[in-house]
Amino acid sequence: MTGPERGYRRLLRAYPVWYRRERGEEMLDTLLAALPHGRTWPSLRDSGALILGGLRVRAGQNRRLTTATNLRLAVLFGVALWLSGRISGDLGFAALQWLHSVPAGRSGYLLFSALVLLAAVGAAWLAPRPVVVAICLAAAAVCAYPWQGPWSLLGQPAMLAALALLALGRERMPRSWLWLVGIVIAGHILTLLISFGYDGRFLLSGTPLNNLPLVLVAAVVLWAVVDARPAIAVGIWVALGRAIVFATNWYDTSFGHVFFLPLAWGTLLALLMVLRLRRQAVL
């Protein structure tokens, strides 16, 4: 493989897999035939044109769906991200108990709860719809135990019910979104380990990890050039993180008004990206 061919193949990765499969070789042959004699690498002009062309094709992928369908997928993704935060919380505190960094408690229950939540979130992408509903119902029962009154049905059980209902639609969430779930889970676990002083050598890592939602917001806002749905999902996830805490009476007035800031900017982000979504989808 020559240098120019290698360079063009890398640039063609800006296009979706299905597009490269159908037209990749034809585009590559055309680009190589038009390459000036003696040039050993694609020009900046060709590179920019290919990257922009790939972004335009990717941006058009969700335009075949209606705004309502895309919005359902975005809300479904936001619920999945919120549940991913609960998964990482249960796993993180179970690990801290095993490491004797916090007082021993229900580490076995926390681990089991995290696993059933993880199964429910994974099923939303990978499993048949009846299986998704069954797993969500089982996970909701696990999370509602032990019964502590009607408040026990808020939080995880309510979000699992929403996950099951939203997952019944025809269109499934793209698997390309799964990396964001992995980052949320891994980042939150590391934040808990660092916050409780498991290893002081990594204390400096705590600042970016504690601001993980802001980092993800920056990433998905850039991503919105191609697809606004992940940005809507992150806004919903951030807003839910405050709204559910307030609704379940965990809010303390000592938190002050700053407690509600994520609720405000998460909601604003979601609303702004809905406007962007309408431009990316069919009516």
Highest averaged pLDDT of the listed ranges 14-18, 86-90, 143-147: 86-90
pLDDT digits (tens, 9 = 90+) for 14-35: 887 878 888 888 888 888 888 7
Sorted by sequence, the CB contacts under 8 Å of residue 255 that are 6+ apart come out as none
- Are residues 51 and 183 located together in one domain of the fold? no
pLDDT digits (tens, 9 = 90+) for 159-201: 999 999 999 998 899 888 898 999 889 888 888 877 775 544 4
- Are residues 162 and 267 located together in one domain of the fold? yes
- Are residues 36 and 105 located together in one domain of the fold? no
Report the chain's terminal Cα–Cα distance, integer Å: 45
Sorted by sequence, the CB contacts under 8 Å of residue 53 that are 6+ apart come out as 14, 15
Whether 178 and 84 have beta carbons less than 8 Å apart is answered as no
Helix, coil or strand: residue 15: coil
Confidence of residue 150 (pLDDT cuts 50, 70, 90): low
Residue 283 in this model has a pLDDT that exceeds 90 = no
Sorted by sequence, the CB contacts under 8 Å of residue 69 that are 6+ apart come out as 169, 170, 171, 281
Whether 208 and 223 have beta carbons less than 8 Å apart is answered as no
Mean pLDDT of the chain: 80
pLDDT at 197: 57
Percentage of residues of the chain with pLDDT beyond 70:
81
- Are residues 23 and 154 located together in one domain of the fold? no
Domain end, chosen from 37, 59, 81, is at: 59
User: What does the alpha-carbon distance between residue 256 and residue 261 come to, in Å, rounded to a whole number?
Assistant: 10
Q: CB count, 10 Å around CB of 113?
A: 22
- Are residues 203 and 234 located together in one domain of the fold? yes
Domain end, chosen from 40, 59, 78, is at: 59
Judged by phi (left if over 0) then psi (alpha if -120 to 50, else beta), residue 72 lies in alpha
**Domain range for residue 50?**
3-59
Whether 246 and 151 have beta carbons less than 8 Å apart is answered as no
User: What does the alpha-carbon distance between residue 129 and residue 233 come to, in Å, rounded to a whole number?
Assistant: 21
- Are residues 95 and 203 located together in one domain of the fold? yes
- Are residues 43 and 75 located together in one domain of the fold? no
- Are residues 203 and 247 located together in one domain of the fold? yes
Q: HSE on the CB side for 60, CA within 13 Å?
A: 10
Domain end, chosen from 25, 44, 59, is at: 59
Whether 56 and 18 have beta carbons less than 8 Å apart is answered as no
- Are residues 70 and 20 located together in one domain of the fold? no
Confidence of residue 254 (pLDDT cuts 50, 70, 90): low
pLDDT at 44: 81
Instruction: Count up the domains in the chain and report the number.
Output: 2
- Are residues 117 and 52 located together in one domain of the fold? no
Give the chain's radius of gyration (CA, Å). Answer: 22
- Are residues 31 and 104 located together in one domain of the fold? no
- Are residues 16 and 87 located together in one domain of the fold? no
